[in-house]
Amino acid sequence: MPRPRIRRLRARRPGWRLLASLALLAVLPVACDDGGAGTDGLEATGVIVAVRGSITKTDEFDLLLPDGSRLTIVPDGSVLVSSGFSPSHLREHMTLAEQITVTYRDEGGQNVMTAVGDSGD
């Protein structure tokens, strides 16, 4: 009668998939960098005075700043969706004159929004 084979378990070395994943994670921040084309981290708080676009998409909106100047913001669609600021929510803030705080970057003369939230004031 043949003897049953006993398979010994060996400690596994990191596989190529793990190493490839780690290499990809190391490269992603460099690949996503805009190369300094814009200025990140600018912030403004104000009241929305105009919203341009359709009922489902905001093309841009104007923010009235406390010093009386206007700032035109071009929203990144994913930022509006992830923050819960739909076009109708922006219009609600405009109608009620509720302040919002926008973080944006200067990208080729356009103020591209990177984050948005209620200002709390």
pTM above 0.75, yes or no: no
Lowest mean pLDDT among 4-13, 21-30, 62-71, 111-120: 21-30
Give the whole-angstrom CA distance, residue 33 versus residue 35: 5
Q: What is the pLDDT of residues 79-93, one digit of tens each?
A: 766 667 778 888 888
What is the DSSP-derived secondary structure letter of residue 97?
A: T
In a domain? residue 18? no
In a domain? residue 20? no
Residue 121 in this model has a pLDDT that exceeds 80 = no
The pLDDT value given to residue 37? 44
- Domain count within the chain: 1
Give the whole-angstrom CA distance, residue 115 versus residue 105: 10
What is the DSSP-derived secondary structure letter of residue 69?
A: -
Q: What is the pLDDT of residues 41-58, one digit of tens each?
A: 899 999 999 999 887 888
In a domain? residue 22? no
Q: Can you give the residue range of the structural domain that contains 78?
A: 38-118
What CATH number is given to the structural domain containing 81? 2.40.50.140
Contacts of 88 (CB under 8 A, 6+ apart): 55
In a domain? residue 14? no
In a domain? residue 67? yes
In a domain? residue 32? no
In a domain? residue 5? no
